[in-house]
Amino acid sequence: MFTDYRTRWSGIRKHHLQQAVAFEDAQNEIVDILTGKIIVGHALFNDFLVLDISVPPHMIRDTCSCRVLRRLYNASIRYNVSLKKLSRKLLNRTIQSGRMGHCSVEDALAAMDLYKLVEDQWEKDILSRDSNTNHTSNSSNSLEHYMQDQYWPESIMDCSPRKNS
């Protein structure tokens, strides 16, 4: 039984779990959705750890570890910058400031916008680093199709202040 939903960070409250899907079912569905896709996000290792899944490194675009973003932020290569700080400085956007906790949609949009900001250089860096392997894929083909509005329910932006923009 859950007693601490970590609402400040998760945004989850008791009523959200009343109709919850079993973990194994959710995990299987997530793996099905992610297989063959490039995954963009921030500190994704935390999500993968909780989900107990492994994703091939060449399919991950983690804004937490992106050298190009860290250079733009003027951070040390060894220092991971929070999504909140990256968004504020590089996107001129304030996120994670509401009393309801993090909004996963708002965080995802920020991570995707950060990725788009440096996509060309990031992908060039990956291609040059992995030039001796043949497992890299063209991110624009992989991502573009699934970013169309038809795949997302209308209510997805309910937690984000950007919903009316």
Average pLDDT score over residue span 11-22? 85
- The CATH H-level superfamily of 15-130+145-164 is Ribonuclease H-like superfamily/Ribonuclease H (3.30.420.10)
Rounded CA separation 128/113 (Å) = 23
Global pTM reads: 0.73
Cβ atoms 136, 127 nearer than 8 A: yes
Q: For tokens 């309801």, what's the residue?
A: 100
Q: Which range is least confidently modeled, 37-46, 102-111, 147-156?
A: 147-156
Rounded CA separation 86/83 (Å) = 5
Nearest residue to 91 via CA among 80, 101, 81: 81
Rounded CA separation 99/48 (Å) = 26
Rounded CA separation 34/55 (Å) = 9
Residue 43 scores a pLDDT above 60: yes
Residue 133 scores a pLDDT above 70: no
Task: Tell me the domain boundaries of the chain.
Answer: 15-130+145-164
Rounded CA separation 40/38 (Å) = 7
Nearest residue to 104 via CA among 25, 24, 16: 16
Task: Supply the pLDDT for residue 5.
Answer: 79
Q: Which range is least confidently modeled, 7-21, 84-98, 142-156?
A: 142-156
